[in-house]
Amino acid sequence: MKKDPKNRKRLLQSILQAIIVLVLLIALGYALRAQILTGVAEFLVVNDPLQPADIIFVLNGDYNTRPFQASELYQQGLAPIIIMAKAEMRPAEKLGLAPNDTDVSIGVMEKLGIPPEKIVVLPVDGGTTSTFDEANALRQYVEANNVHSLILLTSAFHTRRAKWIFERELAGLPMRLEVAAVPSYGFDESNWWQSEDGLITLNNEYIKLFYYFVNYR
């Protein structure tokens, strides 16, 4: 049975049109790649206008950026005290070969002029291993110390997930939570795809965001 030449022609025209549309979309995406990639990163970032608060809570992690920003906010008078939850002790630390992440951050802040008595470390059995652990430790402190407002400080790409976790874990408490986004060392929303660290950080954060949303909502 022979195919209708008209149907074959229409099919070829449809395929050609689809190819043209696809090529145009690819060209458009390439032309707008910087804006698109920047938008992908900006979705992860929450950076609230900051008001004076009772405490600054610094999440464990990048001690090359977070304690520096925390010290600056303290010196600006945005809070009278800085709080961290003790990070877990890792195998190399147990052997005396590496410092604890929390201790390094504290050392940075003290070097920058923060009085030791203005830095509070929350003890946690076994140390914190996740943002959820830190949120739980903070809730206990907030309930025991009549805290009504806090500045949550963490790396920019971590802020959306961190805010979601802390709002969830602090639900029901009469307090104000503001998030301070700390720029990452060596990359930001406008150029993250140009460095290996930026690619890894953004990729990991989206994976964790999806994982937390699916498992803990």
What is the average pLDDT across 170-197?
A: 92
Considering only CA atoms, which of 182, 174, 211 is closest in space to residue 73? 182
- With H, G, I as helix, E, B as strand and everything else as coil, classify residue 111: helix
pLDDT greater than 90 at residue 26: no
Indicate the pLDDT class of residue 213, thresholds 50, 70 and 90: confident
Indicate the pLDDT class of residue 215, thresholds 50, 70 and 90: confident
What is the average pLDDT across 182-207?
A: 92
pLDDT greater than 70 at residue 134: yes
State pTM to two decimals.
0.84
Phi and psi torsions of 59, nearest 5°: -80, 145
Task: Say what the pLDDT of residue 135 is.
Answer: 95
Range of weakest confidence among 26-35, 60-69, 96-105, 184-193: 26-35
pLDDT greater than 60 at residue 37: yes
Give the rounded percent of residues in the chain with a pLDDT score beyond 90: 69
What is the average pLDDT across 28-32?
A: 55
Residue of 179 and 126 predicted with greater confidence: 179
Residue 119, strand partner residues: 82
Q: Is 188 exposed, middle or buried (0-12, 13-18, 19+ CB in 10 A)?
A: middle
Residue 84, strand partner residues: 121
What is the average pLDDT across 127-140?
A: 93
What is the average pLDDT across 167-189?
A: 93
Task: Say what the pLDDT of residue 178 is.
Answer: 97
- d(CA 134, CA 127) in angstroms, rounded, equals 9
Indicate the pLDDT class of residue 21, thresholds 50, 70 and 90: low
**Mean pLDDT computed over every residue of the chain:** 89
Helix, strand and coil content of the chain, in percent to the nearest 5, comes to: 55, 15, 35
pLDDT greater than 60 at residue 24: no
What is the average pLDDT across 68-73?
A: 97
pLDDT greater than 90 at residue 17: no
pLDDT greater than 80 at residue 194: yes
Name the CATH topology of 55-216. Answer: Rossmann fold (3.40.50)
The answer to whether residues 122 and 29 touch, using CB atoms and an 8 Å cutoff, is no
